Structure 1
Amino acid sequence: MLSDRHAWPGFEGSVNSEERNPLVHLPLTMDEILDVDAVIVTHLHEDHWDEAARNLVPKAIPLFAQNEADAETIRGQGFTDVRVLSDSSSFNGVQLIKTGGRHGTEAHYVVIGDLLGEACGVVFRQEGQKTIYLAGDTIWQDDVAAALDTHRPDVAILNTGYAMITGIDGGIIMGTQDVLSVHQAASEALLIASHMEAVNHCTVSRADLRAFAQENGFLDRLLTPGDGETVTL
């Protein structure tokens, strides 16, 4: 999401939809943000792949999509090196292992399943390096548990804002209880919490999550980076 602050309306039908997105300014220059070797688009929702990103990301950069349908959409936006994640994809010697997830509860999918669609995660693995699991836009569920059990990541990056849809209980991404479930399933993993305080429908803040982690005894296994903060592993 590379748009300027308040560039577009809040998500219709979600909590706090009167707020405009994104809620905050980008803390880095575009040159700094785009100084990367490749891009992974876990799914096509506007808070992950907005118009600004489609216009600003170099069209020839290697770009990984979750499935062929998303890849075709991105190719149609002018990108020329679009690849599809799989169980055996890789880039520059790093394994990129696609994992599953679910962008909300069963109740959400009954009502707005066509809008939620699919979303994926990725495990990054390289000999001699820490294994990193990026869960993506998912709640705690069987695919996440399986990824933790199979890949035993040293680090798990979680989207934890507990984004909520008006009139439907529960979040469409992780909240505090989901994070606790991840910790209980992978107690040695360092958890890095993201996707907070930047989009209208997210309801859990960094302070909320840290307080919850303190109460439940895993604050020493949790990082909540500030905007623009770099974490060295």
Structure 2
Amino acid sequence: MQVQLIRNATLLLKVAGKTLLVDPLLAPRFQYDPIPQTANTVRNPTVDLPFAATELPALLASLDAVLLTHTHLDHWDTVAQQQLPKDLPILCQPADTELLRTAGFTQVLPIDTQLEWEGIRVYRTSGQHGRGEIGRQMGTVSGFVVEAEGQRLYIAGDTIWCEEVEQALDLYHPNFIVVNAGAAQFLQGGAIVMTAADVAQVARHAPQASIYAVHLEAVNHCAEDRATTRAYLAQQGLTARVHVPADGEWLTLQPN
């Protein structure tokens, strides 16, 4: 199992001889308006892809499927919708099935609880994309546990630390965990993805796992950057197990 962080929550996952793209945000830097009701007016994505635009067609042609946690723009952007082949399998949460089919994708594979696909077992998990009214407005989001080759990778998706994440950790005991950090938030309400403190909670609850904090320095409403996240984890004595990769970096999936 190999994983590359491309940018934000976009991952390239190679497992069991297949290549999956997770939560694609593929547009050039500054293509989209800033997320409204947030603290700055920087356009999104705030950084470019970690490779030349001319390399994107070859990447898309190499894919066997897309794994999609939800359809917010920074996880399923216009460029991805336009350029991905319409017959490419899209593994998704049931709530997004109709939207994806309406967009013309012909192999939409909703995962209610679990799915066996091409030698890979995928379990769907739940989360909370914020608390209270903000969380309700953000809609349904999911995470996924990908199991193959004797390993389990938990991609938590856009969620804060919550009971649903705790339950997923207790049920699946993943070797590796990818969490969306950055403390993204609006002008009102709390964080809608994990803060550095939330990432530390995950690490304490799953001492068997190596953890990777992504979703940093790519969208305008994130309040914590890589330096802030690393500094907090160092203060908590967790840097040996919690890694904050750079865009384009291949994650070293070695059990703790």
With the length of structure 2 as denominator, give the TM-score of the two structures: 0.85
Where is the strand percentage greater, Structure 1 or Structure 2? 2
2:49 maps to 1:26: yes
Q: Which moved more, 1:81-90 or 1:192-201?
A: 81-90
Could you say what secondary structure the match of 2:75 adopts? coil
Give the aligned partner of residue 14 of structure 1: 38
- Paired with 2:44 and 2:123, the residues of 1 have a C-alpha distance of 31
Could you say what secondary structure the match of 1:193 adopts? strand
Give the aligned partner of residue 5 of structure 1: 29
Could you say what secondary structure the match of 2:213 adopts? strand
Deviation at 1:167, TM superposition (A): 2.2
- Paired with 1:196 and 1:33, the residues of 2 have a C-alpha distance of 22
Deviation at 1:130, TM superposition (A): 1.8
The answer (yes or no) to whether the contact 2:203–2:242 under 8 Å persists in 1 is no
Pick the aligned partner of 1:41 from 63, 68, 85. Answer: 68
Could you say what secondary structure the match of 1:108 adopts? helix
Stretches of structure 1 that go unaligned for 5 or more consecutive residues are none
- Paired with 1:232 and 1:208, the residues of 2 have a C-alpha distance of 22
Q: Deviations over 1:58-92 (max 9, x none)?
A: 1111101211x411111111111001013221221
Give the aligned partner of residue 117 of structure 1: 139
Deviation at 1:179, TM superposition (A): 0.6
> Within 5 A, what are the aligned runs for 1:1-233?
1-16=25-40, 18-28=41-51, 29-34=55-60, 35-67=62-94, 69-109=95-135, 113-114=136-137, 116-126=138-148, 128-168=149-189, 170-233=190-253
Q: Classify 1:63/1:14 alpha carbon distance in 2 versus 1 (closer, same or farther; 3 Å).
A: same
Runs of 4+ in 1 over 4 A off after TM superposition: none
- Paired with 1:65 and 1:88, the residues of 2 have a C-alpha distance of 11
Amino acid at match of 1:83: L
Q: Deviations over 1:33-79 (max 9, x none)?
A: 42221101111100011111100111111101211x41111111111
- Paired with 1:191 and 1:204, the residues of 2 have a C-alpha distance of 18
Identity %: 37
Alpha-carbon RMSD: 1.2
The answer (yes or no) to whether the contact 1:5–1:26 under 8 Å persists in 2 is yes
Q: Deviations over 1:105-146 (max 9, x none)?
A: 12523xxx33x00100000112x4321100000000000000
- Paired with 2:59 and 2:178, the residues of 1 have a C-alpha distance of 19
- Paired with 1:90 and 1:187, the residues of 2 have a C-alpha distance of 28
- Paired with 1:32 and 1:193, the residues of 2 have a C-alpha distance of 27
Amino acid at match of 1:148: L
Could you say what secondary structure the match of 1:191 adopts? strand
The answer (yes or no) to whether the contact 1:86–1:96 under 8 Å persists in 2 is no
Amino acid at match of 2:99: T
Say which structure, 1 or 2, has more relative contact order (CA 8 Å, 6+ apart): 2
Deviation at 1:232, TM superposition (A): 3.5
Deviation at 1:205, TM superposition (A): 1.2
- Paired with 1:33 and 1:200, the residues of 2 have a C-alpha distance of 26
Q: Classify 1:7/1:122 alpha carbon distance in 2 versus 1 (closer, same or farther; 3 Å).
A: same
Could you say what secondary structure the match of 2:240 adopts? helix
Stretches of structure 2 that go unaligned for 5 or more consecutive residues are 1-24
